[in-house]
Amino acid sequence: MLRIPCPHCGVRDEIEFRYRGDASVRRPAGEAGMEAFLAHVYERANPAGWHLEWWQHAAGCRQVLKVRRHTVTHEIGAVGLPGDDLPLPEASA
Ligand SMILES: [Zn+2]
């Protein structure tokens, strides 16, 4: 079970949170074309390593958080607000 440190509520169990998707995806510009939008909607990386994700503290403050999680060990590297910059470590293993 994940233990996610919400910046508003403190450390809470994963069951209070709802996964909201890949936080590294950026919407293409309006003139980018259909291929770019199809990739934006349907294509996701499946990294074995550090990854940025959106999690909503649904049973708590209801805020959406940006979480840096290791997809193999499930270690939570950092938690921030949506506008925060959470750089990924250089070696992603
Ligand atoms: Zn919270």
**DSSP label of 27:** P
State the pLDDT at residue 45.
86
pLDDT above 50 (res 92):
no
pLDDT digits (tens, 9 = 90+) for 36-73: 999 999 999 888 999 999 999 999 999 999 999 999 99
How far does residue 50's CA lie from ligand 1's centre (Å)? 22
Check residue 1 and give its pLDDT: 87
CA of 8 to the centre of ligand 1 (A): 5
Task: Find the 48 Cα to ligand 1 centroid distance in Å.
Answer: 27
The Å distance, Cα 5 to ligand 1 centre, comes to: 8
Coil/strand/helix, residue 61? coil
Work out the pLDDT band at 91, boundaries 50, 70, 90: low
CB 52 within 8 A of CB 64: no
Query: pTM for this structure?
Result: 0.86
Distance (Å) from CA 39 to ligand 1 centroid: 32
CA of 77 to the centre of ligand 1 (A): 17
Residue 81, token pair as written in the block: 């607000």
Question: How far is 83 from 4, CA to CA, in rounded Å?
Answer: 18
